Amino acid sequence: MASHFLLFGFLVATCSVALASDPSSLQDFCIADPKSPVLVNGHACKDPKLAQANDFFFSGLHLAGNTSNPVGSRVTPVNVAQIPGLNTLGISLVRIDYAPWGINPPHTHPRATEVLTVIEGTLEVGFVTSNPENRLITKKIQKGDVFVFPVGLIHFQRNVGNANAVAIAALSSQNPGVITIANTVFGSNPAIPSDILAKSFQVDIKTVNMIKSKF
């Protein structure tokens, strides 16, 4: 009898994992219809008979992003918002431009693993493992090198050269999302109470308010 309960528990667990993953496509494509009033997890499909080549097309990744900002980088996304034909396909792309010594600050993608390829320049990249280890895994990568950032983990890139750098990254979601740690913690709306942040970061409230003023 105990073995039957163990088997039942195993089946429940495996079924739960299967149900938690993205379902397989049941049609060739599902072009996003952002004007649809139907609320679904993702986007409703437009009539496939109305599909056009432009539903699967984007032009612009040859253009450098403007890195004139405090962090010295610019991300150009190519996800379902730019290519409606990506809907339900579980993939997207970004171009990242870096000024000399510019950074793509610590952030996470809650719905995607990222595979980054350096096109020009040299980058210092890294991610931090989850609690309790919080281990930094980092490497310097150059043109043609590839590095993976596992889904959900905090990661970053820094241009370690005196010239501009460029990277292309693929992400395993049509809408990977991005949570930039500093912006989220110090620039939320409404704001996280300063005393909570002061206690969390073991600094005084004046320091927290000074950091908040930058976001």
pLDDT recorded at residue 26: 79
Structure confidence by residue, pLDDT tens digits, 123-173: 999 999 999 999 999 999 999 999 999 999 999 999 999 999 999 999 999
Please tell me whether 114 is known to bind a ligand. yes
Q: State mean pLDDT over 68-85.
A: 97
Please tell me whether 43 is known to bind a ligand. no
Lowest mean pLDDT among 3-7, 83-87, 100-104: 3-7
Q: Assess contact for 31 and 45: CB atoms under 8 A.
A: yes
Return the ∠ at Cα 80 (arms to 96 and 29), rounded to 5°: 135
17, pLDDT greater than 90: no
193, pLDDT greater than 70: yes
74, pLDDT greater than 90: yes
Please tell me whether 4 is known to bind a ligand. no
Please tell me whether 155 is known to bind a ligand. yes
Structure tokens at 93: 């792309």
Give strand ranges (E) for the chain: 73-78, 92-98, 103-108, 114-120, 122-128, 136-142, 146-149, 155-159, 165-171, 179-180
Structure confidence by residue, pLDDT tens digits, 116-136: 999 999 999 999 999 999 999
- Residue 152 zone, left/alpha/beta (φ > 0; ψ -120 to 50; rest): left
Please tell me whether 62 is known to bind a ligand. no
Structure tokens at 76: 């150009």
Structure confidence by residue, pLDDT tens digits, 173-185: 999 999 999 999 9
Provide the pLDDT confidence category of residue 25 given band limits of 50, 70 and 90.
confident
The secondary structure of residue 89, as a DSSP letter, is: T
Provide the pLDDT confidence category of residue 76 given band limits of 50, 70 and 90.
very high
What is the C-alpha separation between 173 and 211, in angstroms, rounded? Answer: 32
Q: What percent of the chain has pLDDT over 70?
A: 89
Provide the pLDDT confidence category of residue 4 given band limits of 50, 70 and 90.
low
CA torsion, ordered 60, 64, 66, 68, to nearest 10 deg: 170
Mean pLDDT of the chain: 90
pLDDT recorded at residue 16: 41
